[in-house]
């Protein structure tokens, strides 16, 4: 039955098994090989520190909590007075408020009315919640079933003075701001902001507000790039659309490299003939042009332009976003000094059948939602062409199909990478 002759393998335009094609993992490793954070460090007020990256670890100057205090509203007493069985009656000798401690000491047979956060009075080591105590005038009655030390937060139990509270390279979010404030820290040492210059290349591109001639389109990549860069908290230097002439490109690359740590462009990194991007870069810097075994976002340029890092993203509007999120964003975060840059990914069932062949990584656009049973599931957004920007705007995650995996049947688990984290 098998009488087929060996046939010469037809090269296909979708074939990534060709020489010189890098896997996503190999490209990420090469890009990260000699990346060091920007050198500048500045001391800034805590209130301005949101979204910045800590330059060094922060040691707690105090114990947290600073004093042993009650975790509940109730009655503070010595553990020896907790009844093992039956019940006990205790005299209420005063009140401790948060910020206004009870000045005396609690003796055997006594207790102090205490509020959440109030300092534990001398002689007391346990708190009985008010719901578990019966108050009669100046006495309470409590039953058995309590544990010595209950409902008490010990001084330094969250963080002892001198222990690291935050680490170097940590991104400062709302929780970090609050934690630093709780330690009384008024100023923090952070990495200086990364300066990122970017422009679009392509003679077909017009800026919005200009009229479109035949075959011309509006430059959308600069807007997606502006948005993605702004959300990263970098200093954004928008250089507009640059004409595809050697003189214009030489000037733009030169200016960008002089003022920025990173230069990002979109377009002109594939094999087309009508561009001078490659030859201008070869004159001014050391840039490699890669083909990556991924879809979309196959062509990518990476290297040095003077003292700056250069990233040439592909021109197709979805490819520019995929390549930015998968390659540029982790790199920029590392340059900003962040140490924890792995994207959040998790596995959910996929409702849609997906075609895919092993040998490249695919980033399909997905909608993560709950099904009728409340299960988190994902479906794709339909047509996945790399010019269809609407597929990104309809989506809320990438469905990441790994290099070695094949197609997906409805109900199969797939890895998703949500677009929006809790930042
Ligand atoms: N023979 C081959 N052709 C192509 C290959 C290939 O491997 N062999 N790769 C394809 C892939 S994949 C992509 S992605 C593109 C990338 O090419 P370039 O980076 O050189 O980008 P351009 O040719 O300049 O533009 C591609 C496409 O995107 C539009 N574009 C460009 N800039 C913008 C912008 N700022 N705003 C909106 N749209 C933009 C441009 O008009 C083109 O339609 O190459 C494939 N070809
Ligand atoms: O990089 Mo391309 O987007 O796969 O068309």
Confirm whether 184 is domain-assigned: yes
Contact in structure between 11 and 18 (CB atoms under 8 Å):
yes
| Span between the terminal Cα atoms of the chain, in Å | 61
Question: Can you list the positions of beta strands (E) in 317-360?
Answer: 346-349
> Residue 281 pLDDT > 70, yes or no?
yes
Confirm whether 212 is domain-assigned: yes
Residues 57 and 187 in one domain: yes
> Residue 14 pLDDT > 50, yes or no?
no
Residues 99 and 145 in one domain: yes
Task: Show the domain range for 329.
Answer: 21-40+193-335
ipTM of the complex: 0.95
Tokens encoding 413: 């688990």
Residue 118: name the closest of 92, 102, 97 by CA. 97
Confirm whether 2 is domain-assigned: no
Helix then strand then coil, % of the chain, to nearest 5: 20, 35, 45
Tell me how many degrees the CA angle 233-221-256 measures, rounded to the nearest 5: 65
> What confidence category does residue 262 fall into, taking pLDDT thresholds of 50, 70 and 90?
very high
Q: What is the pLDDT of residues 286-311, one digit of tens each?
A: 998 899 999 999 999 999 999 999 99
Q: Ligand 1 site: residues with CB under 6 angstroms?
A: 200, 202, 204-205, 217, 219-222, 266-272, 298-299, 314-317, 319, 386
CA of 386 relative to ligand 2 center, distance in Å: 5
Closest ligand (CA of 385): 2
Contact in structure between 327 and 347 (CB atoms under 8 Å):
no
Q: What is the DSSP letter of 117?
A: T
Residues 103 and 171 in one domain: no
Q: Pick the range with the lowest mean pLDDT from 16-30, 61-75, 138-152, 345-359.
A: 16-30
Q: What is the pLDDT of residues 226-251, one digit of tens each?
A: 999 999 999 999 999 998 888 999 99
The span from the CA of 309 to the CA of 270, in Å, is: 19
* Residue closest by Cα to atom 4 of ligand 2: 296
Residues 96 and 165 in one domain: no
What is the pLDDT at residue 13?
Answer: 40
Residues 209 and 92 in one domain: no
Strand order in the sheet with 195-201: 21-22, 285-292, 299-305, 308-313, 262-266, 195-201, 235-242
Per the structure, the count of domains in the chain is: 4
Find where tokens 């250089």 sit: 239
> Residue 423 pLDDT > 90, yes or no?
no
The span from the CA of 309 to the CA of 286, in Å, is: 10
CA dihedral 347, 349, 354, 358 (to 10 degrees): 40
Question: Can you list the positions of beta strands (E) in 243-293?
Answer: 262-266, 285-292
Q: What is the pLDDT of residues 122-139, one digit of tens each?
A: 999 999 999 999 999 999
* Residue closest by Cα to atom 1 of ligand 2: 297
Residues 380 and 399 in one domain: yes
CA of 162 relative to ligand 2 center, distance in Å: 51
Confirm whether 9 is domain-assigned: no
Dihedrals φ, ψ of 326, to 5°? -85, -30
Confirm whether 15 is domain-assigned: no
Among candidate residues 335, 359, 392, the one where a domain is terminated: 335
Q: What is the pLDDT of residues 330-352, one digit of tens each?
A: 999 999 999 988 899 999 999 99
Q: Residues 358-371: what's their mean pLDDT?
A: 96
> Residue 54 pLDDT > 60, yes or no?
yes
What is the pLDDT at residue 4?
Answer: 40
Q: What is the pLDDT of residues 62-119, one digit of tens each?
A: 999 999 999 999 999 999 999 998 999 999 999 999 999 999 999 999 999 999 999 9
Q: Ligand 2 site: residues with CB under 6 angstroms?
A: 295-299, 314, 316, 319, 386
* Residue closest by Cα to atom 27 of ligand 1: 316
Residue of 291, 299, 319, 384 to mutate, ligand 1, most atoms within 8 A of C-beta: 299
The span from the CA of 352 to the CA of 361, in Å, is: 18
What DSSP string describes 47-69? GG-TT-BBSS-EE-SS-BSSS-E
Contact in structure between 250 and 243 (CB atoms under 8 Å):
no
Residues 216 and 270 in one domain: yes
Residue 418: name the closest of 357, 363, 340, 361 by CA. 363
Q: What is the pLDDT of residues 173-218, one digit of tens each?
A: 999 999 999 999 999 999 999 999 999 988 899 988 999 999 999 9
Domain with 84 in it: what CATH number? 2.170.190.11
Residues 264 and 286 in one domain: yes
Domain with 320 in it: what CATH number? 3.40.980.10
The span from the CA of 266 to the CA of 200, in Å, is: 5
Residues 383 and 357 in one domain: yes
Question: What is the average pLDDT score of the chain?
Answer: 92
Domain with 390 in it: what CATH number? 2.40.340.10
> What confidence category does residue 274 fall into, taking pLDDT thresholds of 50, 70 and 90?
low
Interior/surface letters 32-69, b for 16+ CB within 10 angstroms, e for the rest: eeeeebbeeeeeeebeebebbbbbeebebebbbbeebb
The span from the CA of 130 to the CA of 119, in Å, is: 17
Confirm whether 11 is domain-assigned: no
> What confidence category does residue 7 fall into, taking pLDDT thresholds of 50, 70 and 90?
very low
What is the pLDDT at residue 34?
Answer: 79
* Residue closest by Cα to atom 5 of ligand 2: 386
Residues 187 and 321 in one domain: no
User: CA-CA distances (angstroms) from residue 22 to 265, 294, 311, 315?
Assistant: 21, 9, 16, 19
Q: Are strands 262-266 and 195-201 parallel, antiparallel or unpaired?
A: parallel
**Does residue 247 or residue 12 have the better pLDDT?**
247
Q: Residues 9-24: what's their mean pLDDT?
A: 60
Q: Is the model's pTM score more than 0.90?
A: no
What is the pLDDT at residue 245?
Answer: 87
Among candidate residues 97, 130, 153, the one where a domain is terminated: 153
- Rounded to a whole number of angstroms, the CA Rg of the chain reads 31
CA of 92 relative to ligand 1 center, distance in Å: 79
> What confidence category does residue 272 fall into, taking pLDDT thresholds of 50, 70 and 90?
low
CA of 227 relative to ligand 1 center, distance in Å: 20
What is the pLDDT at residue 244?
Answer: 85
Residues 168 and 296 in one domain: no
What is the pLDDT at residue 162?
Answer: 95
The span from the CA of 171 to the CA of 100, in Å, is: 36
> What confidence category does residue 382 fall into, taking pLDDT thresholds of 50, 70 and 90?
confident
CA of 268 relative to ligand 1 center, distance in Å: 7
Among candidate residues 282, 305, 335, the one where a domain is terminated: 335
Confirm whether 407 is domain-assigned: yes
Closest ligand (CA of 315): 1
CA of 397 relative to ligand 1 center, distance in Å: 23
Confirm whether 273 is domain-assigned: yes
Domain with 183 in it: what CATH number? 3.90.105.10
Residues 244 and 300 in one domain: yes
Please list, in sequence order, all residues whose beta carbon lies within 8 angstroms of the beta carbon of residue 4, skipping any fewer than 6 positions away: none
């Amino acid at each position: 039955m098998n009488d087929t002759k060996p046939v010469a393998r037809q090269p296909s335009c979708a074939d990534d098994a060709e020489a010189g094609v890098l896997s996503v993992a190999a490209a990420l490793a090469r890009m990260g090989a000699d990346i060091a954070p920007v050198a500048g460090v500045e001391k800034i007020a805590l209130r301005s520190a949101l979204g910045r990256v800590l330059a060094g670890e922060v040691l707690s100057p105090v114990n947290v909590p600073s004093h042993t205090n009650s975790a509940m509203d109730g009655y503070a007493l010595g553990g020896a007075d907790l009844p093992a069985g039956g019940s006990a009656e205790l005299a209420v000798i005063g009140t401790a408020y948060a910020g206004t401690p009870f000045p005396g000491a609690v003796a055997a047979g006594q207790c102090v009315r205490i509020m959440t956060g109030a300092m534990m009075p001398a002689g007391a080591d346990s708190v009985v919640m008010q719901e578990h105590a019966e108050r009669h005038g100046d006495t309470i009655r409590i039953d058995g079933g309590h544990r010595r030390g209950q409902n008490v937060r010990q001084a330094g139990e969250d963080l002892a003075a001198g222990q690291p509270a935050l680490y170097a390279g940590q991104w400062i979010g709302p929780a970090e701001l609050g934690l630093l404030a709780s330690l009384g820290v008024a100023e923090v040492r952070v990495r200086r902001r990364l300066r990122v210059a970017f422009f679009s290349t392509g003679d077909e591109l017009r800026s919005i507000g200009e009229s479109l001639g035949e075959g011309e389109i509006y430059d959308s990549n600069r807007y997606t790039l502006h948005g993605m860069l702004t959300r990263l908290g970098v200093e954004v230097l928008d250089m507009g659309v640059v004409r595809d002439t050697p003189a214009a490109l030489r000037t733009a690359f030169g200016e960008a490299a002089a003022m920025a740590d990173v230069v990002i462009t979109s377009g002109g990194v594939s094999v087309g003939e009508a561009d001078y991007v490659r030859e201008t870069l070869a004159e001014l810097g050391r840039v490699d042009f890669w083909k990556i075994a991924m879809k979309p976002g196959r062509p990518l340029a990476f290297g040095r332009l003077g003292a700056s890092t250069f990233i040439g993203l592909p021109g197709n509007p979805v490819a520019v976003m995929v390549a930015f999120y998968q390659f540029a964003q982790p790199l920029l975060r590392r340059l900003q000094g962040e140490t924890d840059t792995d994207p959040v990914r998790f596995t959910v069932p996929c409702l849609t059948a997906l075609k895919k062949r092993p040998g490249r990584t695919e980033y399909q656009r997905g909608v993560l939602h709950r099904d009728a049973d409340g299960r988190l599931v994902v479906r794709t957004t339909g047509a996945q062409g790399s010019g269809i920007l609407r597929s990104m705007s309809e989506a809320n995650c990438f469905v990441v199909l790994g290099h070695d995996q094949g197609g997906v049947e409805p109900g199969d688990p797939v890895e998703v990478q949500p677009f929006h984290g809790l930042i």
